[in-house]
Amino acid sequence: MTKKTGNKTKFTELKKIYDMLHGPRGCMWDKEQTHASLLKDLQEEVDEFVEAVKQEDYPHMREEIGDILLHVMFQAKIAAKSKKFDIEDVIDGLIRKIKRRHPHVFGNERVGSTREIIANWHRIKAQEKKSGGAKRRRGV
């Protein structure tokens, strides 16, 4: 596995690459893409990852999950250009969701089994959906 050096991570480098691709001297094709224009390719990458998992082909899994990350970065960059959200917002939302849905790890809730964890996950997810409109607008 690749190690990070100092404060610079490969993710920092990846963000800079996307800034360059969408910058003034960047790639014309990349800059022309929309959320919708990339959907077919994203679905293909997800399908290829699923196949790699089924075959337990770890080198292929690594490649395909990288291709999925490419699409995540691409979609976030497109949204950032229209000031809707950026990759940091995506990561922040994911961190908040993981913490909310794991109160047995990040809170005081006690569980005795995986079954309880799954039940809690579904209960929390249902609560989020009920109040989802307000949460999504606040970015929580």
φ and ψ at 90, to 5 degrees?
A: -60, -50
Mapping DSSP to helix (H, G, I), strand (E, B) and coil, where does residue 80 land?
A: helix
Residues 8, 95: Cα–Cα separation, whole Å: 21
Share above pLDDT 70 across residues of the chain, in percent, rounded to a whole number: 89
Question: What is the b/e burial string over 92-119, where b = at least 16 CB atoms within 10 angstroms of the residue's CB?
Answer: eeeeeeeebbbbeeeeeeeeeeeeebee
Tokens of 128: 């989020």
* Architecture field, domain 1-84: Orthogonal Bundle (1.10)
Q: Do you know the residue count of the chain?
A: 140
pTM: 0.82
Q: Which pLDDT band holds residue 14 (cuts at 50, 70, 90)?
A: very high
Q: What is the pLDDT of residues 58-74, one digit of tens each?
A: 999 999 999 999 999 99
Extents of the domains making up the chain: 1-84, 101-140
